[in-house]
């Protein structure tokens, strides 16, 4: 199980002035590989994070218009964390964002291509939409199609 020490370390890495790009690897090694942690997340959609996904994809693809495919976001409220992923033109994007410190890291990679990925650390204003849990969890993106 993910410990409070792992959570504190990840937040520290995200905020570090030089090592923040290491946060994606740390998240994959200590969080994404933990089934219990992954089951804690509740699927949601947060518009500002979708917009950031789009902006990062524009930067990576060097385009003014991109299509974000299969965006997924999961909120782990007890850890003040939102994590997720999407794809765009063969690139995979992952992110981890802390709602208490309003910082996160978005990283991209193009599997099996040999192309260099791109990471971006973001700081966003507080998100009042997080207080509207009915909207966060009640809309179509949280429905199970099965």
- Cα dihedral 73, 18, 55, 142, rounded to 10, equals 0
CB atoms within 10 A of CB 18: 6
> Given CA atoms 26, 95, 123, 90 in this order, what sign does their dihedral have?
positive
Say if CB 86 and CB 71 are below 8 A apart: yes
Q: In this predicted structure, what is the pLDDT of residue 139?
A: 55
Domain range enclosing 70: 4-141
Q: In this predicted structure, what is the pLDDT of residue 107?
A: 94
Q: Is residue 108 part of a domain?
A: yes
Find where tokens 């979708």 sit. Answer: 50
Q: In this predicted structure, what is the pLDDT of residue 63?
A: 94
Radius of gyration from C-alpha coordinates of the chain: 15
Please tell me the pTM assigned to this model.
0.86
pLDDT one digit per residue (tens) for the chain, 146 residues: 888 999 999 999 999 988 988 999 999 999 999 999 999 999 998 888 999 999 999 999 999 999 999 999 999 999 999 999 999 999 999 999 999 999 999 999 998 887 778 889 998 777 777 777 776 666 555 443 33
Long-range residue pairs from 107-114, CB within 8 A, at least 24 positions apart, any chain: 107/21, 107/24, 108/56, 108/57, 108/60
Q: Is residue 146 part of a domain?
A: no
Q: Is residue 30 part of a domain?
A: yes
Q: In this predicted structure, what is the pLDDT of residue 136?
A: 64
35, with CB counted inside 10 A (0-12, 13-18, 19+), is exposed
Cα–Cα–Cα angle for 42, 13, 79, rounded to 5 degrees:
25
């Amino acid at each position: 199980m993910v410990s409070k020490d792992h959570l504190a370390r990840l937040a520290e890495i995200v905020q570090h002035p030089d090592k923040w790009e290491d946060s994606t690897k740390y998240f994959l090694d200590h969080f994404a590989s933990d089934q219990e942690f992954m089951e804690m997340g509740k699927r949601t959609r947060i518009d500002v994070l979708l917009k950031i996904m789009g902006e990062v994809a524009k930067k990576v693809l060097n385009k003014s218009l991109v299509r974000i495919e299969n965006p997924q976001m999961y909120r782990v409220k007890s850890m003040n964390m939102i994590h997720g992923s999407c794809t765009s033109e063969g690139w995979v994007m992952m992110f981890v964002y802390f709602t208490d410190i309003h910082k996160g890291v978005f990283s991209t990679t193009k599997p099996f291509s040999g192309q260099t990925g791109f990471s971006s650390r973001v700081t966003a204003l507080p998100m009042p939409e997080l207080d509207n849990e009915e909207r966060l969890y009640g809309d179509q993106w949280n429905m199970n199609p099965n």
